[in-house]
Structure 1
Amino acid sequence: MNPIVLGYDGSDFSVQALDWALDEAELRKLPLTLAHAWQWPYGKAEEDAKAHLRKAAEHVLWHGADCARHTSSGVDVSTDLHEGPAAERLVELSHDAALVVVGSRGLSTLSRAVMGSVARHVAAHAYCPVIVVRGPGPLPAATNPGPIVVIDREADSSVLEFAFEEAILRRLPLAHSTDLAAWVARHPGVRVQRATGHEAATLMIVSRKRAARAGIAGSLLQHAPCPVAVVG
């Protein structure tokens, strides 16, 4: 089975992303792979120094996997520790993934910028859908969850298929700005409503091609009030 892949760095934002990734894995009945990358940032280094950094990276990944195993209901959790750039590794893992999940920011001011660049790079170049987890509070559970919102006015089939799948899995309505009668006929259990632009969405979905062409991906990933899925 193709796993859900989570980019994990131990920050609060990646813990938030872990919650979302576990939810996806449980709903889809898929395994979860926690991926953590590390690299020596100061040029040439003694092997002892690098070994210390690797040990710290192993601890971060172990802690995340341990949390995942103790909070999930039967999800098969594995780990991937990589020496090198995180963005490149996540794109590589996306070849065989059903979905990649990343947080929007990292631990410190510097790592927030790095994690943001990782999210943008993975969203633009992955070979599967990518969800960048944003928004306040614990995710994905919410007291009054909003709809799944498709941003594209003329979304392609891959975007709509993903949107309807999420709506079915989460038992939420789907909001869009155009007629989806043919899709509703194929997914009769999904309630579709007209998007107004003011919905408190549970998840916003945009096509990868349109996001890149319109230059809106960076803005969405930085300012959206909820998780954003980039698909296609």
Structure 2
Amino acid sequence: MNAANGAAVVVGVDGSEQALRAVRLAAGEAARRGRALRVVHGFIWPLMRVPLGPAPGSPPGAGLREQANRLVAEAVAEAETAEPGLRVTGEVIDGAASAVLVGESPTAALIVLGGRGLGGFATLLIGSVAVQVAAYADCPVLVVRGTARADGPVVVGVDGSALSRAAVEFAAEEAATRGVALRAVHAYRHPGAEGPGDMQPLVYDEGQLRREEHRVLDESLTGLEKRWPQVAVERVATRQRPAAALAEASRSAQLLVVGGRGRGEFTGLVLGSVSHAMLHRADCPVAVVRAPA
């Protein structure tokens, strides 16, 4: 992840209640990390070529630009109330919300946003902005989901891929800063393919499969206890669909961490099927890690 000196936690806001939940979550993340918080609103109206100022005869503070400035100021005040003493800044940036937030990601430590904002359809469990930012951001993305819990472990999905290892490192840091345990969940169903085009065997030894999948889990966690000695690590290997196993684990977690794309995913996918499913199904906030730390 982007951990350069001075990198801020960035939160996207749109005036919705979900966005205010994201602001409170982001303020806590920034405070734990000792970083500043940057509140950003993607102001799309200039692209639509509509009047941005107040109409003739309107009361003071009218107009789309003033409304945008006001919602950012309210979000800044919300963050300062949630974490007194936190350094918080805010900015209205012209552009679509997803493009603005992805543009912030190369210099951000973390991007936080609500699962669905004002523009989301009521029938959708997760908004398109959350999916797009999680798919393209150059830093980890934390999405508000489910229940906010002060207890419970940080859960991370493990599959042996490079992004899975990056997710493990991020999850271990989160567990350390929160002072909780880390639960690493590796779910499997059949023997994994060794390479593109390989067919899964029709007959295999169940005991050997179990040992191999436990080895994948152990190797993904190699050196973790040395780097994060204060974090208690629980290993869970289960024969189950990964999305189902992680959704179940999220019910008692305070944070779920997944890689952006895992082992066995098509290389053309920008956001993997399991991470996409967790953005819809998890019962706690979800962090998507797309790049090695």
With the shorter chain as reference, the TM-score category is 0.7 to 0.9
> Aligned in 2, Cα 1:49/1:218: closer, same or farther, shift over 3 Å?
farther
- Deviation string for 1:5-64 (max 9, x for gaps)? 001112111111111101111100000000011223994434546981111111111111
1:182 aligns with 2:223: yes
Gaps of 5+ in 1: none
> Aligned in 2, Cα 1:37/1:209: closer, same or farther, shift over 3 Å?
same
> Aligned in 2, Cα 1:96/1:39: closer, same or farther, shift over 3 Å?
same
Match for 1:204 among 256, 261, 280?
256
Match for 2:30 among 25, 29, 32?
25
Q: Would you say how many aligned residue pairs link Structure 1 and Structure 2? A: 227
> Aligned in 2, Cα 1:15/1:46: closer, same or farther, shift over 3 Å?
closer
* CA–CA separation in structure 1 for the residues paired with 2:20 and 2:65: 20
The structure number with the bigger radius of gyration is: 2
* CA–CA separation in structure 2 for the residues paired with 1:111 and 1:63: 24
- Give the superposition deviation at 1:216: 2.5
Secondary structure of 2:85's counterpart equals coil
Gaps of 5+ in 2: 1-5, 56-61, 187-216, 239-244
Match for 2:42 among 37, 61, 64?
37
- Deviation string for 1:98-123 (max 9, x for gaps)? 0000110113654886x711111110
Q: In the alignment, residue 104 of structure 2 is paired with which amino acid?
A: L
- Give the superposition deviation at 1:181: 4.8
Matches within 5 A, 1:1-232: 1-40=6-45, 43-48=48-53, 52-107=63-118, 109-110=120-121, 116-136=127-147, 139=148, 141-142=149-150, 145-156=151-162, 157-176=165-184, 177=186, 178-179=217-218, 180-195=221-236, 197=245, 198-199=248-249, 200-210=252-262, 212=270, 214-231=272-289, 232=291
* CA–CA separation in structure 1 for the residues paired with 2:21 and 2:123: 14
Normalised by the size of structure 2, how large is the TM-score?
Answer: 0.70
- Deviation string for 1:119-165 (max 9, x for gaps)? 111101111111111113xx3x53xx221111122153322211110
Deviates more, 1:26-35 or 1:69-78: 69-78
Higher helix share: 1
- Deviation string for 1:168-227 (max 9, x for gaps)? 000111111322352112211110112363431111111113284642332211121111
Please give the root-mean-square deviation of Cα atoms over the aligned residues, in Å: 2.5
Q: In the alignment, residue 259 of structure 2 is paired with which amino acid?
A: S
* CA–CA separation in structure 1 for the residues paired with 2:180 and 2:77: 30
Q: In the alignment, residue 37 of structure 2 is paired with which amino acid?
A: L
Deviates more, 1:222-231 or 1:154-163: 154-163
* CA–CA separation in structure 2 for the residues paired with 1:150 and 1:184: 15
* CA–CA separation in structure 1 for the residues paired with 2:271 and 2:127: 20
Deviates more, 1:157-166 or 1:212-221: 212-221
Normalised by the size of structure 1, how large is the TM-score?
Answer: 0.88
Secondary structure of 1:4's counterpart equals strand
- Give the superposition deviation at 1:228: 0.8
- Deviation string for 1:54-112 (max 9, x for gaps)? 11111111111112123313111001201210100101111100000011011365488
